[in-house]
């Protein structure tokens, strides 16, 4: 059972940089702000195993005064306790939680977080139920729901019969996830679906939040040089760049085309190993295309700042887009797929862009052209996206989770962790 003295010890089950699993970027920012909260005394990162030679690194108490967040960050303890595609992740996570004895546990997951295989993916998602049954207040931040995932595009469901089987399995897995104390979703529609279909009473809306704190408006113009058309993410499942490369060919072939560069920033999705290498080989004849490979956290700002436009070559949606929030925070115009759910979500969040038909290179090229050919329009789109990204920083979203944890603990008879005047035992900010 959890134990506490002063402040919360929060365990976060997630991927995290330098790990390259999906949602690592979200976890990076979530943990970064979680550490700044006076209610939090320690963060226990229950992360996936890293390849040999890599390790998780967090600033020590001495180092943290040099960070932008300042002194007094809650310390982070890392326990690597699961491995992508392993079948025993749930019991390993439970054992790690028992060892860490946190006051609350947050799972930062989506349906394929624990494996590309159906069995490993599903078994991993039983972990929240096990952790809750063990007596730990448990919230699952579920970034997508099975009901809206295009299984074919997401790398599952090679045939219709298999897709039906997976959907049925998905319903069962969803029920396991819903066994957590609370399930947080980033889109109102997802809350409606789970509340309606599963009669779930424990689902709630928690906005995605923007990664950076609101700041002065960024430079809306890219640096001199070729206009960079940039896409960012983990590719090969529902983020596919074949159409984007074709669109780039169309743009280059236009008479009087300005100098252009296509920047593919990121890596393969864990479910699509070798995808980018294959396309890089196929497009070797194309001038101006650059594959960056993995983008380290400190390189992310430069990648976005240098871009003239951010393109989202999605074939289906899996909820709100962290990349769009990032693009917004750098004041970038966006070119977005016309997929009902996605358009609805980003419009609700105040973002905008030029839209294209998924899979249609001519439509994508035209959408990009509308942005890069009209600097005023590009700036206007970037400005609106910046305003949208400034709306609700993830730092505020973290506060919502802490309130939910507090409420869960109160309902279980735990002591209250209302913010105190001081930053608690670890001292810190004035």
Partner 1 sequence: MKMKWRLIGKIAVLEPIGRFDAHNAPAVAEALTEARNSSLKDAIVNLEQVNFLDSTALATLVQGMKHCRQLGGDLHLCCLQQPVRIIFELTRLDKAFDIYETEAEALHAFAG
**Residues written for the chain:** 430
| Least distance (Å) between residue 398 CB and partner 1 | 10
Query: At its nearest, how many Å lie between partner 1 and the CB of residue 28?
Result: 21
CA angle (212 as vertex; 108, 417 as ends), nearest 5:
55
Quick check: 89 and 124 in contact, CB under 8 A? yes
CB of residue 198 to partner 1, shortest distance in Å:
16
Q: Quote the least distance from Cβ 11 to partner 1, whole Å.
A: 21
Q: How far is the CB of 396 from partner 1 (least distance, A)?
A: 4
Which of 116, 109, 101, 124 has the alpha carbon at shortest distance from 176?
Answer: 124
State which residue, 190 or 235, has the beta carbon closest to partner 1: 190
CB 45 within 8 A of CB 78: yes
Question: Can you tell me the distance from the alpha carbon of 366 to that of 246, in angstroms, rounded to the nearest whole number?
Answer: 12
Give kind and range of the element (H or E) at residue 107.
Answer: strand 104-109
Q: Which residues pair with 43 in a beta bridge?
A: 10, 76
127, 113 contact by CB (below 8 A): no
Q: What CA–CA distance (Å, rounded) separates 100 from 10?
A: 10
The burial of 256, by beta-carbon neighbours within 10 Å (0-12 exposed, 13-18 middle, 19 or more buried), is given as exposed
Identity of the residue, 266 or 424, whose beta carbon is nearer to partner 1 in the bound complex: 424
Q: 242 or 407, CB closer to partner 1? A: 407
Q: Are 308 and 359 in contact (CB under 8 A)?
A: no
Instruction: 167-175: list long-range contacts, CB under 8 Å, 24+ apart.
Output: 169/118, 169/122, 170/111, 170/146, 171/146, 172/122, 173/111, 173/121, 173/122, 173/125, 173/126, 173/146, 174/145, 174/146, 174/198
Question: Which of 270, 188, 260 shows the shortest CA–CA distance to 235?
Answer: 270
CB 99 within 8 A of CB 106: no
Our CB check for partner 1 shows the closer of 191 and 303 to be 191
CA–CA gap between residue 243 and residue 196 (Å, rounded): 36
Query: 74, 39 in Cβ contact below 8 A?
Result: no
CA 409 to each of CA 7, 46, 419: distance values in angstroms, whole numbers, following the listed order: 12, 21, 15
Q: Among residues 100 and 381, whose Cβ is nearest to partner 1?
A: 381
Cα–Cα distances (Å) from 84 to 90, 112, 265, 366, 400, in that order, read 12, 9, 22, 39, 29
Q: Of 309, 328, 266, 317, nearest to 291 (Cα)?
A: 266
Q: Could you tell me the smallest distance in angstroms from the CB atom of residue 308 to partner 1?
A: 26
Q: Which is nearer to partner 1, 228 or 384 (CB)?
A: 384
CA nearest 400: which of 194, 205, 211, 241?
205
Q: State the residues that interact with partner 1 by CB under 8 A.
A: 38, 182, 188, 191, 204-207, 350, 387, 390-392, 396-397, 399-400, 403-404, 406-407, 418-421
Residue (67 or 403) nearer to partner 1, CB: 403
- State how far the Cα of 106 lies from the Cα of 114, in Å rounded to an integer: 15
């Amino acid at each position: 059972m959890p134990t506490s003295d002063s402040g919360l010890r929060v365990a976060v089950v997630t991927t995290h940089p330098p790990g390259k699993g999906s949602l690592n970027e979200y976890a990076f920012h979530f943990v970064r702000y979680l550490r700044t909260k006076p209610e939090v005394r320690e963060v226990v990162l229950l992360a996936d195993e890293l390849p040999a030679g890599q390790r998780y690194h967090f600033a020590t108490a001495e180092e943290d005064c040099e960070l932008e967040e300042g002194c007094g960050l809650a310390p982070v303890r890392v326990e690597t306790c699961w491995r992508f595609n392993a079948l025993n992740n749930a019991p390993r996570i439970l054992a790690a939680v028992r060892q860490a004895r946190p006051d609350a546990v947050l799972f930062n997951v989506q349906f394929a977080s624990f494996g590309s295989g159906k069995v490993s993916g599903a078994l991993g998602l039983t972990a929240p139920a096990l952790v809750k049954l063990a007596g730990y207040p448990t919230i699952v931040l579920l970034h997508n729901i099975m009901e809206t995932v295009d299984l074919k595009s997401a790398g599952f469901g090679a045939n219709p019969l298999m897709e039906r089987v997976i959907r049925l399995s998905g319903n069962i897995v969803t029920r396991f996830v819903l066994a957590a104390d609370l399930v947080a979703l980033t889109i109102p529609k997802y809350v409606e679906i789970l509340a309606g279909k599963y009669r779930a009473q424990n689902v709630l809306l928690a906005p995605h939040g923007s990664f950076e704190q609101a700041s002065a408006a960024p430079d809306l113009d890219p640096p001199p040089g070729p206009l960079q058309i940039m896409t960012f993410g983990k590719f090969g499942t529902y983020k596919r760049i074949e159409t984007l490369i074709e669109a780039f060919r169309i743009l280059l072939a236009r008479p009087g085309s300005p100098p252009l560069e296509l920047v593919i920033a990121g890596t393969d999705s864990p479910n699509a190993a070798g995808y980018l290498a294959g396309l890089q080989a196929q497009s070797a004849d194309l001038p101006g295309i650059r594959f960056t490979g993995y983008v380290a956290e400190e390189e992310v700002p430069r990648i976005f700042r240098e871009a003239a436009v951010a393109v989202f070559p999605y074939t289906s949606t899996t909820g709100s887009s962290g990349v769009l929030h990032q693009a917004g925070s750098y004041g970038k115009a966006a070119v977005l797929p016309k997929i009902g759910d996605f358009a609805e979500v980003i419009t609700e969040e105040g973002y905008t862009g030029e839209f294209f038909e998924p899979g249609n290179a001519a439509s994508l090229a035209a959408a990009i052209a509308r942005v890069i050919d009209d600097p005023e329009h590009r700036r206007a789109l970037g400005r609106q996206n910046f305003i949208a990204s400034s709306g609700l920083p993830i730092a505020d979203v973290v506060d919502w989770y802490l309130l939910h944890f507090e409420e869960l603990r109160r309902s279980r008879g735990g002591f209250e962790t209302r913010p105190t005047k001081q930053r608690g035992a670890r001292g810190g900010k004035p």
